[in-house]
Structures are given as structure tokens and as C-alpha cells.
Amino acid sequence: MRIFRSSSTGSAFSGWAFLLALLLWLPQVQAVQAELAVIAMAELPAEARVTLQAIKRGGPFVYERDGVVFRNYERILPQQPRGYYREYTVKTPGARNRGARRIVCGKPVECYYSADHYQTFKRIRE
């Protein structure tokens, strides 16, 4: 491993220290997220449009877990305080369970569609 020497202080640190510093800095760079893709409401699957209408009405919802706090562990959506986002199931034809499709909304109504169980999101444009 190569040693880097600072000419101003005379201190030395290894390439490992540089690599560690770089790795600690990267999450800050990644936190500045690129714009999410946008999907028009008319482009959503019919079941997603039905779910979005139920969200706007305040229910009723088909699934018991609809409306629970979405914690954004994936950090794909913009960072917000805990409790800001709520998740809702989009019915998937032929699925025996809730399926993978979701709509996640924040306050005021700012909604995102995920067709792949939170792997990707598209902001819903009305």
C-alpha cells in the first residue's frame, strides 16, 4: 500500500485511510438524489388509479396494512421526517397476496408508484 505524505504537516496516512475517508464521504454524495422518474396518472395501471382515488377519499381500503407508515429504508424517496409517508397496496390481478405494487404518499398529497415492491419509484403527476 502506498503512503501519502502531507507536505504541510509532515504526517503520513495510508491508502486505507484515504479509502475509508472516501467511503464515509460517498453517502453524502448519494444523498443528493437524482430526480425520480415521473408517471402521468393516465399511464398508471387501472388498479393504481382506483387506489389513488381511495387515498384521496380517505378510504375505505381493501388491505389491512393500507395507510401504515412507510419508513423509506431504501432512501429512494426524498428524505422526510418519520411518519411523513404512508403506503397503500395496488391490487395485482392474479396475485394471492398483496403483490408487489404500491403507492406511497406524503403530505400534502405527493404520491409515488412502485411496481416492484420499493425497488424503484415514479412520482405520480396528475
Take residue 38 and report the three cell numbers written for it: 415521473
Determine contact, residues 39/81, Cβ cutoff 8 Å: no
Of 43, 38, 7, the residue nearest 112 (C-alpha): 38
Cα angle 38, 40, 81; round to 5: 50
Residues known to be catalytic? 87, 117
Rounded Cα distance, 13 and 3, in Å: 6
Element (H, E) at 37: strand 37-40
